[in-house]
Homo-oligomer: A and B are copies of this chain.
Amino acid sequence: MPTPSEQAQALTPAAIHAAYDLIKPYVHLTPLLTCKTLDKIASTPQTPEALVGTPFEGQTPAKPQIHFHFKCENLQRIGAFKARGAHHALLRLIQEQGEEEVKRRGVITHSSGNHAQALALAASTLHVPAYIVMPEISTPSKIAGTRSHGAEVTFSGSTSVEREAVVAEIQAKTNAFLIPPYDDFNIICGQGTTALEMERQFAEAGKNKELDAVITPVGGGGLNAGVATYFSDKSTRVFGAEPSFQGADDCRRGLGAGARVEKVSTLTIADGLRTPVGLLNWEVISDKRKIEGVFSVTEDQIKAALKLVLERMKVVVEPSAVVGLAVCLFDEEFRKRVEVEGGEKGWDIGIVFSGGNTTVEAIAKLYN
Contact = CB atoms under 8 A, between A and B. Distances in A.
B74 A360 contact: no
**Residue among A316, A317, A359, A366 with the most chain B CB within 10 A?**
A316
A358 B367 CA distance: 13
Interface string A331-368: 00000000000000000000000001011110111111
Interface of A: 74-75, 79, 306-307, 310-311, 313-317, 356, 358-361, 363-368
Contacts of A315: 314-316
24 contacts: A74-B314, A79-B314, A307-B359, A307-B360, A310-B316, A310-B360, A310-B363, A311-B316, A311-B358, A311-B359, A314-B315, A314-B317, A314-B356, A315-B315, A316-B316, A360-B363, A360-B366, A360-B367, A361-B367, A363-B364, A363-B367, A364-B365, A364-B366, A368-B368
A20 B328 CA distance: 38
A359 B366 CA distance: 12
Main secondary structure, interface of A, reads helix
A16 to B, nearest CB: 25
Q: What is the total number of copies of this protein in its complex?
A: 2
Nearest to A355: B314
Contacts of A358: 311
Contacts of A307: 359-360
Contacts of A365: 364
Enumerate the 9 nearest inter-chain pairs by beta-carbon distance, A residue then B residue, closest first: A314-B316, A314-B356, A360-B367, A364-B364, A364-B367, A74-B314, A364-B368, A307-B360, A310-B316
Nearest to A368: B364
Contacts of A316: 310-311, 313-316
Contacts of A359: 307, 311
Contacts of A313: 316
Given A311-B358, A364-B365, 20 more contacts: A306-B360, A307-B360, A310-B360, A311-B316, A311-B359, A311-B360, A313-B316, A314-B315, A314-B316, A314-B317, A314-B356, A315-B315, A315-B316, A316-B316, A361-B367, A363-B363, A363-B367, A364-B366, A364-B368, A368-B368
Contacts of A366: 360, 364
Contacts of A364: 363-368
Contacts of A74: 314
Contacts of A311: 316, 358-360
Nearest to A309: B316
A360 to B, nearest CB: 4
Nearest to A31: B31
A365 B365 CA distance: 10
B75 A314 contact: yes
A148 to B, nearest CB: 10
A299 to B, nearest CB: 15
A36 to B, nearest CB: 10
